Amino acid sequence: MSFRTFLKSLENRGDLIKVNERISPKFEIAYVMSRLADGPALIFESVEGFKNEVAGNVVSTRRRVYAALNVSNSALYKTMIEAYRDPVYPKIVDDGPVMENVREPNLLEIPALTHYERDAGPYITAAVVAARSLDGRIENVSIHRLLVLDKNHLAIRLVPRHLHKLWETAKNEGYDLDVGIAIGVHPAVMLAAASSPPFGVSEFGIANKLLKGNLKLLKCKSVEAYVPYDAELVLEGKILRDKEVPEGPLVDMTGTYDVQRMQPVIEVTRIMHRNNYIYQALLPGGPEHRLLMGLPREVAIYESVSKVVPTVKAVNLSEGGCGWLHAVISIEKQTDGDAKNAILAAFAAHGSLKHVIVVDSDIDVYEPKSVEWALATRFQADEDLIIIRNVRGSTLDPSADQQSGLTTKLGVDATMPLSKPKGGFEKAQIPPTERAEKIIESLKQSS
């Protein structure tokens, strides 16, 4: 159930490619990852200037997410909701594979990638950061980008959520915040870390539930933090209370550069790693980034909309919407107000959401042409449009106010009006015959 065993399972299924040509961690690996994002996972075996292999595009497709959790498409939301509602905290162990090597920090020996031409420098982008409150009662586990500054310092991007709250609390009491940073963990841990349970609920409990009780943690030695015992690489350190540096620019989920900000510094106190550890790279703005961040939000939207509409068929934080800003939701409508209730519930579930389109259950939310057809045939702007002005959105949206995050949100009811005959909105079908199907198959084979 580790990162390494998951990669092995992908290789056994023919869903992983090993790249043995020599390649640079500055731009070249990122470029290959971007061009092959829809294909198999990648392992770069010969990284220029470094000893360790780099894995990329590990869960850049939905089918690999389903494989990681051992669930079907239809069971994903249910499985994740059960994990959110009934987390099980992992067993604590004294030793594990990640402790095969323990040493003084030298971050310059880690093959962190420089991804885009205007990046501030090499970034660690698949880092799961775990921290506890000073009394040890509250634990938070989340994913953060880390800019490599020197041998033992990183800049961390902290948005005003749970880890930021723990850091602010520690800072106000005169302490640095201890953190354990794990790189190369099972995708279930990444998905859990990308979720947003209530403050005080440890994401490690969610991950352990997703892994059917097979996650184990060990306590860091130089700091008060816990990490997966089978991670590839762990950095122990402290988020300093009194030091900030310019962080960024770096490309985020929108595929555009996030703005530069003053952000806290992590002082790394110790490194431990497996023998010949595999470094996990995650392409900023790529499909894997959008899936890992977006899927937990899809689950939150599904659960929220299910409370106001009897049947929710599917939710898609669309690729064109950066896996973050646009949601397409299909429902089985009972009354003409259901779609608008669904829109409001979706905005409540995911604060960064900018545009929501609600369609009927016969529309494929993953097929843009199908959604556009619903807009063309079932939507009237003077009746079916909701506009909400000057509300908090996402600072990742370059068209929003970058400081306050204020934006305008839009909801579209593209469902069939129940006041008109249903037959007028159904797409016409041509009855298939066995002979026609055989002819089609024959033509495909000859072409």
Q: What is the DSSP code string of 118-182? A: T-SS-EEEEEEEEEE-TTS--EEEEEEEEEEEETTEEEE---TTHHHHHHHHHHHTT-PEEEEEE
**322, 253 in Cβ contact below 8 A?**
yes
**Distance, CA of 430 to CA of 440 (rounded, Å):** 14
Instruction: Return the closest-CA partner of residue 60 out of 107, 27, 103, 16.
Output: 16
Q: Which CATH architecture has domain 288-423?
A: 3-Layer(aba) Sandwich (3.40)
CA distances from 235 to 82, 99, 130, 221, 314 (A): 31, 11, 11, 11, 39
CA distances from 439 to 215, 429, 431, 432, 447 (A): 53, 19, 15, 11, 12
Strand partners, 226: 219
pLDDT value for 186? 98
pLDDT value for 440? 93
The one-character DSSP state at 432 is P
**305, 359 in Cβ contact below 8 A?**
no
- pLDDT of the chain, 447 residues: tens digit per residue: 899 999 999 999 999 999 999 999 999 999 999 999 999 999 999 999 999 999 999 999 999 999 999 998 889 999 999 999 999 999 999 999 999 999 999 999 999 999 999 999 999 999 999 999 999 999 999 999 999 999 999 999 999 899 999 999 999 999 999 999 999 999 999 999 999 899 999 999 999 999 999 999 999 999 999 999 999 999 999 999 999 999 999 998 888 998 899 999 999 999 999 999 999 999 999 999 999 999 999 999 999 999 999 899 999 999 999 999 999 999 999 998 999 999 999 999 999 999 999 999 999 999 999 999 999 999 999 999 999 999 999 888 888 887 788 999 999 999 999 988 888 898 888 999 999 999 999 999 887
**Distance, CA of 148 to CA of 154 (rounded, Å):** 5
pLDDT value for 427? 86
Query: Would the CA dihedral through 178, 175, 269, 58 be positive or negative?
Result: positive
Q: Which of 119, 176, 252, 384 is catalytic?
A: 252
pLDDT value for 353? 96
**90, 208 in Cβ contact below 8 A?**
yes
- Which string of b and e fits 37-46 if b means at least 16 CB within 10 Å? beebbbbbee
Instruction: Return the closest-CA partner of residue 214 out of 181, 189, 182, 241.
Output: 189
SS3 380: coil
Residue 230 is among the residues annotated as catalytic for this protein? no
Beta strand 261-273 with 311-317 is: unpaired
Q: The tokens of 346 are what?
A: 């979706």
DSSP one-letter string for 181-231: EEES--HHHHHHHTS-PPTT--HHHHHHHHTTT--EEEE-SSSS-EEETT-
Question: Is the pTM higher than 0.75?
Answer: yes
Residues 6+ apart with CB under 8 A from 340: 386, 411, 413
> What distance, in Å, lies between the first and last C-alpha atoms of the chain?
44
Task: Provide the greatest CA pair distance for the chain.
Answer: 79
Beta-carbon neighbour count of residue 259 at 10 Å?
15
Residues 6+ apart with CB under 8 A from 112: 25, 122, 123, 124, 148, 279
Q: In what order do the strands lie in the sheet with 54-56?
A: 16-19, 41-44, 54-56, 279-280
